Structure formats: C-alpha cells, structure tokens
Structure 1
C-alpha cells in the first residue's frame, strides 16, 4: 500500500483513522453487520520505515441484540513481536437508510471557501500530506456547516474499487473542516478518536460530495458523503477528534507503554451564542466547602451532601432530562504545580459515576478556589458542551487522556530505610512488597493490616521476603485510627528510618448511585481517605523518598456502578496534587484491573471483567 507514505502527520507515517474504519466495515460485512455502532481509536499505528506490519481484526460472537465486539491489532514483522490494540468497538446489523440529500450542488446559500494553498496551511498544523491525500478540490460554508468536493488523483482511481471507501478519500473529506480554524482546538493537530454510527451505502467511488455538520467546534462532527451525482455513499453520525502532539506520536513509535496515560487540560474556545443559550437551561449546584484543615473529616461531610443532591436530581420528575452542573472549588490540579483540595476532588469521582450511569444528566465544573466571578466561570464552562471542565483565569479547559512514554527506570527507595505498606500482608500490598525487594533492593519493610500476624498469609509473606534477603515486620494497625498508626510508626527502628510509604489498603464498594447510602459510602471512603490523610500528616516531616497512593481508574473512566469507590480514589488524586504543591513527594497511579485473584476485584464475574476491559 504505497499510498500510506502520503499520510505524514507531525513527521510520522501512520495509518489514517479512516483505515481502521475500512477494516471494521469489511469485517462487519463478513458477519452480516453493516453498521459501526462505535469504534474507538486508542493508539496510532505507525508505519515503520523498514519491515512489515501484521494486522489482525477480531470480531466477537453476537450478543442477544446481534451486536458484535470488534478490535484491530498490529505487530511488527518479528514472529515474537507483541500485539498492540489500536481500535475497538461494536458492529451491528440493520443499518438505517441514508437520511440526507446532496443532489443540489453546490448547496444553495453556501459561501465559497478559499482552498488555494489549503495543503500549505495544513502543513503549518503538522499535516504533511502527499499527493494521494491532497484530495480537497472545493469547499463552501453555510453557518456552522461545511461542504466540500474531494477526489482521488487519477493515478489512484484504479485503487478505489479495492475499498469500500478509499481511506485517503474519506480522510480528505475532513480537510475542509480543518481549515475553518475556529474550534476548540484551533491550530492543533487533530486525529480521529472515535467514530459512531458509521454506515457505508455504496462502494468504489473516487469522487465525493461532503457535508460536515459541526456539533462542537472542530472536535465533534457529523459527516455525510455522496458520489458526484449526489447518491449517498456513507454516513458518520459522530466523529470525535482529539489533539495529538509530536511527542505522543514519537512515543507511540518508540515503545511507549500501552498502559501509561496522563490527563492533560487543554484550552477550549469560547462557546457560540447558540451553545450559551442552550447551556443557560442547566441547573447549577455548588458543592459545599466546609471549613477545617482535616480533609478526611471534610470529605465525610461533603460527599454525602453531594450524593443526596445527585439522588434528588435523578428522582425529581421535574428535572426531566435536564442537566445539573456540579461545581467544585479547587478540586483538580489543572495547571503545573497547582494545589488541589482532596475533599473537593472526591466530588469528581462521585459525579463521574452518576454521569456514567445517567449520560447527559450531569456536568462537572471546577473553578479556582479564589475565583472572583464563579457564576461567570460556570456559565462559560457549561456552554462549551463538555461533561468535565475547569476554569482558570477566565479560560475554559477540558481534560484529555493522552498516552505518555514510560519514564526512565528509577529506584528512589534506597536499601537502608524502611518502607511502610498498608494492607501489606496480602493482595496488592504483598505484591508490592515482593516487587520492592526483588526489583528495587528494599531490605526493610513494615507491613500493616488490621489483624497483624493473625491475618491470612502474614507469616508466609514474612518468610518469603526473608528468603529474598529482606526483613519485614508485621503490625496490627487500623490506618484510619490516627493513634494506632502513630504507634506503628513509632516502632520503626531508628537505624532504618522511614523512607517510603505505599498506601494500598482499601475496601471495594459498588452499587448504582441511586442505591447508595451515606453510611455505606463512609465505610468505603474511610480506609482510603482517612488512612491516606493520617499517613500524610504523620509522615510529612519525615525524609521520604516516595509516597505512593494506590488510586484507581475507578475514579475516572471506570466509575459506573462504583460511585463510592470512585470518590475515594479521586480523594487520593487530590491529596497527591496537594502534597506535590507543598513540595512533598507523592504519586497516585490510577491502576486498572489487577491480574490477581485476591484483594480488590477478586470477586468480579467474567462479565464484570469484560465490561471493564472495554472501557
């Protein structure tokens, strides 16, 4: 496929997102599924300068509604190369008939758009397209809608019949929209992130008429394409694009961890008047901000109040399908080095779960703790149409999850100090203890659990660590009890002072937001929030090399059905930011599912695990 060399983005040759669509369409056709319900692109496929790439498309068995899962993978030419998943989603049968008409061309009332030098302008944004991808011939605008005419070069006309819709042609269909330059990501390099409701109505064309309806700036669009007579060719009900950086693509080609991501807060453009008017209908609720320095005590006050508000909103028949904007103050660290209030951060986990269970009913907004006009900040944030926003110095920002390269290996733990691991006698705690000893040379550990040496596996883990050359002490300690924890810390040998903390203790929660009670939520919060806050306060004067809080993806992308657990983990995220802002060591990795049968996640069914894998 030599035409792939013409798809150069930020210096990397990659398979266009439209190529994944073509693969999914063809695979769906083989099993009687003529519609892509959803296709999420999670990793770019970088085309290597040398050697080949093996592709694999997997289609699952039909579920009761005849929908099938689909995933697309690749690996290098070496036989032992690992597979990387690039895209996944769902294909379904019964695609609807096309509901658009492009027979009148150009459309009446549309204004011509200057496309001379279009690809020079796109080059400035990082798109170094070669001849096959330079298909834009003409364009028009009508309000927020964009119309375009695109075509393959004559040298590629023969290839059109090889595809349902040539990926270079469908890619070119989006180029006029990129020239608009007035969206949320103006000037950024955008790549497709998710395709929804994709149907191919006709195959093999080399010329397209295109209608792009902007749903939100240049990041969310609906696309309708027809052939040169106006006959429908394809429908894309929703295409979401996301900004990408040169570093991200370089990381993807250079072995970035497929599991390591970071949330980045991007500026977004002011909302249109129409969007602002629509947003004016949203109800607004400011989460309480109790006084006091004890964040663990404050979170036990804040979360139940917000839970009651959320439950009341969902139960109120007058709220209908309306949206409730839940506003926090300083709950997330948006800017580098910014502080965060852990109690306010917990609200984000709770409301994320409510939104995941009730799509379109909630909006999260964080304003600066010292905002002079929080009402104006909230209005601007809600109007941008995102489900999560933050406002700093009048600028609305939106979170995006971006893959990052793994940092260089480091071992900050040292061999002489003592590392404290809460919940350290089993499950994740025991796993971390082994890892620190075998991979980082740690030789002194203090493992806490509620039952101490009477806990199952406690004696066994001590003996195992001793065989590995480490000395582990086990102490019965309830980390939610400040005095109990202080007693455990006071027993550390002065010859091996405390040098690191790993807070792995937790209690799993669960249940839809509407079924939760304040008492039940507190029982899930305390092991993480009270334990973490006690560790923070009692060790803040120690010379720590590391302070690790085991957070979870349950605080963000896996929140549905576990609002209490999500709130607890978001508290940890906020505490880590709070410590870093104070110059103290802290990290709160948000782990996904662990491949162990004990501890959190050990009682999940196969169906639970499969749902989480797809999120």
Structure 2
C-alpha cells in the first residue's frame, strides 16, 4: 500500500512524505537488548535531560514540554542508549495514538543527540528513513538504542531499536537519515615570516622615525644622522614588574606622536617608522603596529611600519635599513635577524588537517572565563557542557550580571557543571590574585583560562583623548598580565587569549582597541617562552576573532553589507566559531586569525593588507578636515570610503 502526505497550496500539492505500508506479522529479536551491557558500552559521555535540551536550544531548536521525552543519553563509540519517557503533560491523551508522537520524537531526538558529542559538529536534522517496523505496544517504550551506520558528505544514517523496560523491542527505525546543517565556512590564517628583499625604488618621502628601546647613545647618534627626519626617542626602562604599565606608557607616547601628525593635516605621504630595539627584553613593541594600521585607515597619507632589529647594530647599518624600507613601506611589519636578512610578516591560510579536533575540556575541570557578561562566554559554556558532566566554570566581569545573564545563570543551578559569576576588575592586580586564590581554595586547582574581557570607545585618533585611550587598553593589557601572574602556580592545561582581527588590521576609530589586541597577541608568544623555561604551565595561544553573530558587540546591517561587498567578510556564526576554536587548538601555531565569508575575497583581502596603497590626496584631505571639525562621524566616514572618487 503506497501513501503520500501532502497539502494543497494555491492549487498545487506540496508533498511532505511518501512511502509504502506493509501489513504482516513481525517478530522481534529473540534475545532482545541487554540494557546493562549497552550502558557499560556507552560511557564516553552521559547527557542529562537538561543538558540535551539546553544544547538543542543553543542550536536554535526549542522543544516544548510535550516533546521533552529524553531523561538521559549514554554516549558510546558510534552508538548511544537513551532513557525516554512519555511526558506527564501528554499522558491524558496517550490512548489516542498507536505511535505516540512524543515518544517517537524522543527516540529520534536521541539520534540527533548522538551527533552533539562531536567537537564543533553542526546541527544534524532527520529528513528520511528507510523503514519503520511496529512490533508491540509503543506506550511501553522506555529505551532507545541508536547505532550510527553510514556517514559521508553531511549525511548520517542510523538505526534505532526502541524497547520496553525488559529490553524487548516494540519499534524499529531502520536507516534514519540525518543531514547536517552546513557549518559556515571559517577560514583560519597564521602569521608567517618569510625572507623578502626590498625592491629597488627611487621614491623616498621624508617622515617620522620613532626609536623605541634603544640605548641612549645609539638613539642619539641615529637622531643626529637623520637631520631631515623628525625623530622621536622612547627609551625602555626595563620595568619587568609592571609589564602592562610600561607598555601603556610607551603606547601613549606613540599615540601622541601620531595624533600630532594627524592634526597637522598632511597633504602628502608621511612615512612613520618605528625602530624596535632589544626585542629579547621588550618583545611587545611590535604591538604598536595595530595603532599604525588604524592611523593609515583614518588618514591614508600616513603609512606606518614596525622594523624589528635583532641584537646590537651600528648606527650606519640602522640608517641603511631605514633607507631601504622607506622606499617600499610594505608590509607593516619587517624584521632583521641573524645574518641581517630581511623578513616580512605574511598571513598564510591554515592548511586542512585530517586530524580530528581534540577537546580542551576534561571531566571535573575548573575553568575561568573573563568577559563574563558577553555572548561568547555563554556560547563557550554551552559547548563545555556538551563534553563534560562535572566541573566548574567561573565567569568574571567588571559589572554585576545583567538581568538576562542572571536568568541564564539560574538555569545551571541544578547542573553538576557549576557555572558561577563573580564581579572582578581584571585591571586590579590584587583583586585578580584574590580571585585565583579563592578558586584554588574552593576547587583545588584551576585547569584553564580564557581571557575575553575587552571594551571599545570608538573615536578618530585626531579626536581621541589619552585617558580614553588608556581606558580601552587596560582590560586587555593589564588583564592578561594580571591573570598570567596570578595563575603562575596553577596546573593549567591552557591559557587562551580571545583577541580581535583589529589587532592585525587596525580599524577606524579603534586605535586603542587595535593596540590592546596586538599586545595580547604578543603576550601569547611571551607566555609560551615562560612555559618553555618551566616558569608557567599550559599552552598559550591567541585567536584574532572577527565579529561573532551572537557575541555581544553588534554592527548595523548596512555595515555588515559593506563588509561583504568590500572584503567578503561576514559575522561569524556560533557553531563555525566553535569549530574554528578547536581547529586553532589542534594547530601548531601560537596565533591564529579567523575570518568568515567569501573565501576568495577574504584571501585577496588578507593579501592586500601587505601592499602599499595609492590614494587620492584631495579626497582624503577633505575627509580629514571634516573629521577635525566634528562634521563627519565614524559611520559616515565608513560610508564615504565605499565609493571614493576616481581620477
């Protein structure tokens, strides 16, 4: 007997399902299911009812009380055993069905639940089945045994045996086909230094040279030998006790220098080169590149470059390096190493890996996440809950939890995975030390840190105040230093820094935020050097994230369209972000940049960051004049940049 389930819509039939029905006598397997043995085989992970439906909600599926029939799922290797029941609210109409929809759906939910245990797995939805065999009274169904059969190209096939309390089967679902919802394509890039000689050129504009961290005598000699340049000397006083304070003081000096150049409203190209000396003692100077990148975006007449110098150099050699790089002010970061070969910083796409992404989390683990009021923190905790049953996550934020956050926290009160929020200003060194000390006293240790705290206060550099600049630096810069120092005796598995692509590319109105993120990127390398010398524990890596779709910081749809048109970039979807997170963890690199959107456009966009751009002088001079007179906002500036005049 064939059947079709359809609905007439506007004179046309919309078909929902087709199949065949065969009537006959069906017998169940003689031995039934050994439920005790299956439970022993499915102990990789145990998902409670609350964890299952919370995971479904995080993926956009909200089941009402009539369809919450899962009590527990025991997950094994390519199989799962689910305890199911008929929800109490459905019991009064149970006699109306042979196949009760609540029980049948609970069994199918169990199959979807099996896919939840895969790291970074996208949502898989059922859309077909080969065969359904009705054997006994389905109202007696209490267990669903799910076995994964085939998998490939986003399609997964499963068989489900539904049985009663004794293990006798009452219903068989054969060849249930699930199709994975496509996970957004996130592209990962890693920084790569490659040898690059300077191409000969006859172009050389006079500009500004910032001598950073050099010995006073060397700095003075270089300045004297550059009479036609504007030289600025920023000494490094070697304050190892206050790494954050030292960097902020130095960054503010560079900020004032660049702001002065902007206020002069140059009508021609102004090179700004930062010579970085003594990299071994002060590895954070290259973070100033984020500020230079932003200055170029706000006034393309300013072209910045950080030049890293290895070891002691004679002043004559330094002058040659300046002269060579002045001819081609690209890419934004170059370094001279060993035999004084020139290396340029490039970003290369992370190659695909056949290695399955590993997990950071472990059963009973204790984790600290800063930026606790943000949306990304919620996403990470929901991901943790998919993989461990017991443990603790301590969320910290500068302010008290919002009303929505408090309501969300209340949902975790009955879970064995404890989610605790506490107010903490990460810029307060002593407060951070007390927090870590309390965590160790309560839980015995701390296993991982994710530093995601950060604030923005968007203003053009020409208008920004130094106090605003330092306030944006503090949560990132002081925060990462204080967290690292306070946790140096903890047995960490990881110390993850959530940075931003702004630290790599700069961003209009965010010179401070770009500088702060560039600093934490460099701190990842610094902390790994401490791990290597056995002064710290746990791998450190930094992820330069784009905007997350549900991450808290939002943009207008107009800005988002501009991103897509100009760069191919779009906001990162949560599941794509989680997958990228695991890919970064599985990769060998200490810093990874994540972008989402059109692959070809994004790869071209990343490549173009390394090229020196030619710009229309009159057009940009007019814009800078309007900015200085408060006649043009950041948003209006972004809109104008979409269609600069030609010729």
TM-score bracket relative to the smaller structure: 0.5 to 0.7
* Aligned equivalent of 2:476: 528
Q: Are 2:546 and 1:592 equivalent residues in the alignment?
A: yes
Q: Structure 1 residue aligned with 2:335, among 377, 391, 400?
A: 391
Q: Trace 1:102-251 onto structure 2 (pairs within 5 A).
A: none
Distance in 2 between residues matched to 1:318 and 1:450, nearest whole Å? 40
Distance 1:501 1:328, change over 3 A: same
Is 1:310 the counterpart of 2:224? The answer is: no
In the alignment, does 2:293 pair up with 1:352?
A: yes
Match of 2:168 in 1: none
Distance 1:506 1:491 in 2: 23
CA distance in structure 2 between the partners assigned to 1:302 and 1:493 by the alignment? 35
Residues in 2 aligned to 1:406 and 1:539: alpha-carbon distance in whole angstroms: 34
In the alignment, which residue of structure 2 is the partner of 1:403?
349
In 1, Cα distance between equivalents of 2:298 and 2:257 = 16
The residue aligned with 2:494 is 546
Structure showing greater Rg: 2
Q: Which moved more, 1:401-410 or 1:369-378?
A: 369-378
- CA deviation after TM superposition for structure 1 residue 399, in Å: 2.0
- Provide the C-alpha distance between the structure 2 equivalents of 1:323 and 1:590, rounded to a whole number of angstroms: 27
Cα distance in 1, alignment partners of residues 476 and 499 from structure 2 = 9
CA distance in 1, matches of 2:470, 2:206: 33
C-alpha contact (below 8 Å) 1:256/1:405 kept by paired residues: no
> 1:459–1:396: structure 2 CA closer, same or farther, 3 Å change rule?
same
Instruction: After TM superposition, list the pairs within 5 Å mapping 1:568-587 onto structure 2.
Output: 568-583=516-531, 584=536, 585-587=539-541
Is the 1:500–1:544 Cα contact (8 Å) retained in structure 2?
yes
Q: Considering Cα pairs closer than 8 Å and 6+ residues apart, tell me whether 1 or 2 has the greater RCO.
A: 2
2:305 aligns with: 364
Which residue pairs with 1:562 in the alignment?
510
Give the structure-2-normalised TM-score.
Answer: 0.50
2:434 alignment partner in structure 1: 487
Query: What is the aligned partner in structure 1 of residue 319 from structure 2?
Result: 375
Q: Does 1:610 align with 2:565?
A: no
Offset at 1:308?
1.1
2:335–2:343 CA contact under 8 A, matched in 1: yes
- The 5-angstrom pairing of residues 335-346 of structure 1 reads 341=282, 343-346=284-287
Partner of 1:450: 398
Q: Secondary structure at the match of 1:296?
A: helix
- Measure, in 2, the Cα distance between the counterparts of 1:376 and 1:359: 26
**2:423 aligned partner:** 476
1:179-199 CA-to-partner distances (Å, cap 9, x unmatched) read xxxxxxxxxxxxxxxxxxxxx
Determine if contact 2:205/2:270 at 8 Å carries over to the other structure.
no
Conserved? CA contact 2:457–2:510, under 8 Å = yes
Structure 1 gaps of 5+ residues are 1-77, 82-254, 332-338
Shift of 1:340: 8.5
Cα pair distance change 1:341/1:548, threshold 3 Å: farther
- Indicate if the aligned counterparts of 2:290 and 2:506 stay in contact, CA closer than 8 A: no
Q: Are residue 513 (structure 1) and residue 454 (structure 2) matched?
A: no
- CA 1:270–1:405: 2 relative to 1, 3 Å: closer
Please state if 1:266 is matched with 2:194. Answer: yes
**Cα-to-partner distance string for 1:49-101 (whole Å, 9 max, x where unaligned):** xxxxxxxxxxxxxxxxxxxxxxxxxxxxx9989xxxxxxxxxxxxxxxxxxxx
Kindly tell me the number of residue pairs found equivalent between the two proteins: 351
What is the CA–CA distance in structure 2 between the aligned matches of 1:442 and 1:576, rounded to whole Å? 29
Determine helix, strand or coil for the equivalent of 1:402: strand
Q: CA deviation at 1:496?
A: 4.0
Q: What SS does structure 2 have at the residue aligned with 1:259?
A: strand
Match of 2:209 in 1: 284
TM-score, length of structure 1 as denominator length? 0.52
| Shift of residue 280, structure 1, vs aligned partner | 6.5
Report if the CA contact (8 A) 2:372-2:396 is conserved.
Answer: yes
**More helix by proportion, 1 or 2?**
2
Candidates 457, 463, 474, aligned match of 2:410: 463
Unaligned 5+ residue runs, structure 2?
1-151, 156-182, 213-233, 568-647
Q: CA separation in 2, counterparts of 1:320 and 1:498?
A: 54
